[in-house]
Amino acid sequence: MRPTILVTGAAGQIGFEVARLLEPHGDLIAADRASLDLADPDAIVAAVRGAKPALIVNAGAYTAVDRAESEASLAQAVNGRAPGILAEEAKRLGALLIHYSTDYVFDGKSTTPYSEDAPTAPLNVYGQTKLDGEHAVAAAGRHALVFRTSWVYGLRGRNFLLTIRRLAAERDEISIVADQIGVPNWSRALAEATARIVAAGLAGAAERAGTYHLSATGRASWHEFAQAIVGDATRPRVVPITTAEYPTPARRPPYGVLATQRFETTFGFGLPEWREKLARCVASPVEPAVRY
Ligand SMILES: NC(=O)c1ccc[n+]([C@@H]2O[C@H](COP(=O)([O-])OP(=O)(O)OC[C@H]3O[C@@H](n4cnc5c(N)ncnc54)[C@H](OP(=O)(O)O)[C@@H]3O)[C@@H](O)[C@H]2O)c1
């Protein structure tokens, strides 16, 4: 029997890719914000009990890092509370939950890659709400795979790659922060990894429940990432600046590289260096939008 798969946030960067890739593996219910509002606990319960999925992939999240500073209660509802409700409902059904979290649960004071067990200390509201979501999932029991990742980009939605492309078309010079270090991750690569784990079997995936760092390897500053996007073009010039020169409402961790050994050892594969995926991404066509 084909399992029912519920994907939330299905119009988002990861959600769009993961829904597309999971379609062959079950009867897919791809819910965007209009069809399932994660800020509404009753709607979540009704959606899950109605669908009775064997797998829930929670790709929905409040991801506006700066806006979260002034919309903390909405960010908390979506990032902090909804994952716990999904986890409770998944437990009730004997379903598996796959949930995504972020390197922003860390304070960025480390200079070496963060392991899953490293102490968390978010610097901003978004990071705190995502950490609360992780705790809520854990409190519901060990029925979930939580994949922390970082710096998600793609050819759809709102992200750094598309912002740099737009600025590059408008300006001769762009100034980009060079003292924040992390790892760019193509949304499709994250979705492919998720789909590969699902394709290998839900029972096996459930046995591996826990928190994992799912990321490409290598490291970059935002400045290096921007330079890689612009490539060899002589225009625009990509000028390195400091975080202090680019103040934002939310503080960002200066370092967010995630150690991926636990993921690789557990699932038997990993993601390549981030530049390889960036090259694949920019060479690929934009998939047409799907209406849910
Ligand atoms: N983006 C990053 O750099 C990054 C880094 C690390 C981890 N992550 C994590 O990766 C996961 C996926 O993020 P993403 O990059 O795919 O973000 P995204 O492109 O912003 O997608 C998130 C989706 O969630 C939807 N959403 C927002 N509020 C909602 C609500 N109340 N109910 C239902 N859906 C709602 C958004 O819809 P609207 O567009 O209509 O608001 C959007 O389609 C999240 O857990 C995120 O925390 C992301």
Q: What is the pLDDT of residues 57-84, one digit of tens each?
A: 999 999 999 999 999 999 999 999 999 9
Question: Please, what is the end-to-end C-alpha distance for the chain in angstroms?
Answer: 24
The secondary structure element, H or E, covering residue 5 is strand 4-8
Cβ neighbours of residue 155 closer than 8 Å, sequence gap 6 or more = 161, 162, 281, 282, 284, 286
pTM equals 0.96
- Bridge partner residues of 240 (DSSP): 176
Q: Is 63 in the pocket of ligand 1 (CB under 6 A)?
A: yes
Q: Is 123 in the pocket of ligand 1 (CB under 6 A)?
A: no
Within 10 A of 272 (CB to CB), how many other CB atoms are there?
Answer: 12
Q: Is 58 in the pocket of ligand 1 (CB under 6 A)?
A: no
At residue 133, the pLDDT reads 98
Q: Name the least confident of 120-124, 142-146, 174-178.
A: 142-146
E strands within 21-122?
A: 27-31, 55-58, 96-102
In percent, the amount of the chain with pLDDT more than 90 equals: 92
Q: Is 59 in the pocket of ligand 1 (CB under 6 A)?
A: yes
Range picked from 88-92, 141-145, 165-169 for highest mean pLDDT: 88-92
Average pLDDT, the chain: 95
CB 133 within 8 A of CB 83: yes
- For residue 156, which atom of ligand 1 is closest to its CA? 19
CA of 37 to the centre of ligand 1 (A): 12
E strands within 55-151?
A: 55-58, 96-102, 144-149
At residue 180, the pLDDT reads 97
CA of 87 to the centre of ligand 1 (A): 18
pLDDT tens digit string along 278-290? 999 999 887 767 6
CA of 100 to the centre of ligand 1 (A): 9
Q: Is 255 marked active-site?
A: no
